[in-house]
């Protein structure tokens, strides 16, 4: 019998290890509440911390051409971050990682945003032959996060670009309110685990990764301590709400909506909206919607209605499948086979999960003591 949370929209079918308290609130909500205490700041106290943080960024970057680095993808969060850096008088360098799946709208949005704000851009174009092979390897590995190849590369590029340009602060667009970690790790672990990525590539890939940007877990303390580069999630310092942010970037930067989160990348919308529900029986929208409900940006009722709709139009899903097969050089029958393969998880492959947990706990401890950016 499936049990539903009284606050968010998780239920025990979707999230089997969920437990519930006396009020019917789920353990994921409880994790969220516990973490949010130290993962964000807001209100007048928040403003003060923000000012101090910005001063530090400016100070640490004052002798360089750019005092911070921002990743841009054309999505809401990174576009809004770009806007804010200008509002607050920072001097950002924008980095875009082109993985070969940009939609036209994403490219247009990036272009408009940077033109309006007068921000310089560097693009790293991933070697398509290598990247395609890696994406295919992950599909064959049958694990539920298809965006690991992209996300890992983006993070690696950001570290490398920060060091190459003498920039001490990377400003990230991630925000705890609507992208919390209070979700099933099994569905989304692996973005920073080079050991796991390498293992999948060795097992299912057909060509060596020569130019693919990467970093091992052990480099993170090195980047932070030896190179003194920090990642700052700016949106955790303000009263961030999606709708207001979108309103601003639409009006000020001519930003146009994709219709749904992450739809700026054709592969991401395909993986989240087609592969995850059909192969893994998991609708990734749950995570974001639960967070939106918890942060008061959506009512539970609205979230329930949203999850009831198709992730995106059926016809477009079909076209995306065809496009993916075309780009990955897969026969439709091969793809169908992949869809039928038994789902696996990162635990089925060599990984660095334990060390990752240690690092994460260390970072969170530092955050609690105010020693590390949010």
Q: Residue 311 burial by CB count (10 A; 0-12/13-18/19+): exposed, middle or buried?
A: buried
Contact criterion met (CB below 8 Å) for 282 and 273: no
- Residue with Cβ nearer other proteins (98 or 179): 98
- Residue with Cβ nearer other proteins (32 or 101): 101
Taking the complex as a whole, how short is the minimal distance between the CB of residue 121 and other proteins, in angstroms?
Answer: 4
Q: What is the 3-state secondary structure (H, E, C) of 7-50?
A: CCCCECCCCCCCCECCCCCEHHHHHHHHHHHHHCCCHHHHHHHH
- Residue with Cβ nearer other proteins (149 or 190): 149
Determine the Cα–Cα distance for residues 193 and 128; give it in Å rounded to an integer: 21
Binding positions for other proteins, rule: CB under 8 A: 96, 98, 100-104, 107-108, 110-111, 114, 120-123, 125-129, 132, 266, 315, 319, 323, 326-327
Q: Residue 276 burial by CB count (10 A; 0-12/13-18/19+): exposed, middle or buried?
A: buried
Taking the complex as a whole, how short is the minimal distance between the CB of residue 319 and other proteins, in angstroms?
Answer: 7
Determine the Cα–Cα distance for residues 243 and 351; give it in Å rounded to an integer: 38
Q: Residue 62 burial by CB count (10 A; 0-12/13-18/19+): exposed, middle or buried?
A: exposed
Give, in order, the Cα–Cα distances in Å from 75 to each of 80, 100, 153, 192: 9, 16, 17, 21
Taking the complex as a whole, how short is the minimal distance between the CB of residue 111 and other proteins, in angstroms?
Answer: 5
- Residue with Cβ nearer other proteins (34 or 120): 120
- Residue with Cβ nearer other proteins (9 or 249): 249
Phi, then psi, of 293 in degrees rounded to 5: -65, -45
- Residue with Cβ nearer other proteins (9 or 119): 119
Determine the Cα–Cα distance for residues 201 and 188; give it in Å rounded to an integer: 18
- Residue with Cβ nearer other proteins (92 or 190): 92
């Amino acid at each position: 019998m499936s049990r539903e949370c009284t606050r968010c929209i998780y239920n025990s079918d979707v999230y089997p290890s969920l437990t519930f308290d006396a009020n019917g609130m789920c353990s994921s909500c409880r994790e969220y509440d516990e973490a949010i205490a130290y993962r964000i700041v807001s209100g007048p106290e928040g403003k003060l911390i923000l000012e101090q943080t910005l001063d530090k960024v400016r100070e640490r970057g004052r002798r360089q051409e750019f005092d911070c680095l921002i990743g841009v993808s054309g999505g809401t969060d990174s576009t809004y971050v770009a806007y804010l850096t200008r509002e607050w008088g920072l001097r950002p360098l924008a980095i875009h990682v082109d993985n070969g799946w940009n939609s036209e709208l994403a490219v247009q949005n990036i272009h408009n945003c940077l033109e309006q704000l007068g921000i310089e851009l560097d693009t790293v174009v991933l070697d398509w032959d290598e990247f395609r092979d890696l994406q295919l390897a992950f599909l064959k590995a049958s694990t539920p996060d298809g965006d690991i190849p992209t996300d890992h590369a983006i993070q690696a590029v950001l570290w490398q670009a920060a060091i190459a340009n003498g920039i001490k602060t990377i400003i990230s667009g991630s925000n705890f309110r609507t992208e919390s970690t209070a979700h099933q790790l099994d569905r989304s672990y692996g973005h920073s685990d080079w050991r796991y990525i390498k293992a999948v590539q060795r097992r299912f890939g057909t060509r060596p990764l020569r130019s693919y940007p990467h970093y091992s877990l052990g480099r993170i303390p090195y980047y932070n301590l030896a190179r003194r580069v920090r990642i700052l999630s700016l949106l955790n310092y303000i009263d961030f709400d999606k709708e207001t942010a979108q309103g601003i970037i639409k009006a000020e930067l001519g930003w146009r909506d994709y219709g749904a989160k992450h739809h700026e990348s054709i592969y991401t919308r395909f993986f989240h909206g087609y592969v995850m529900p059909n192969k893994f029986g998991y609708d990734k929208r749950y995570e974001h919607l639960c967070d939106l409900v918890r942060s008061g940006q959506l009512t539970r009722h609205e979230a329930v209605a949203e999850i009831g709709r198709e992730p995106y139009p059926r016809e477009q899903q079909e076209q995306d499948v065809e496009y993916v097969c075309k780009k990955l050089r897969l026969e439709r029958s091969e793809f169908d086979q992949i869809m039928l393969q038994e789902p696996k998880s990162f635990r089925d492959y060599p990984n660095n999960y334990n060390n990752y947990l240690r690092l994460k706990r260390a970072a969170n401890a530092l955050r609690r003591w105010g020693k590390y950016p949010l």
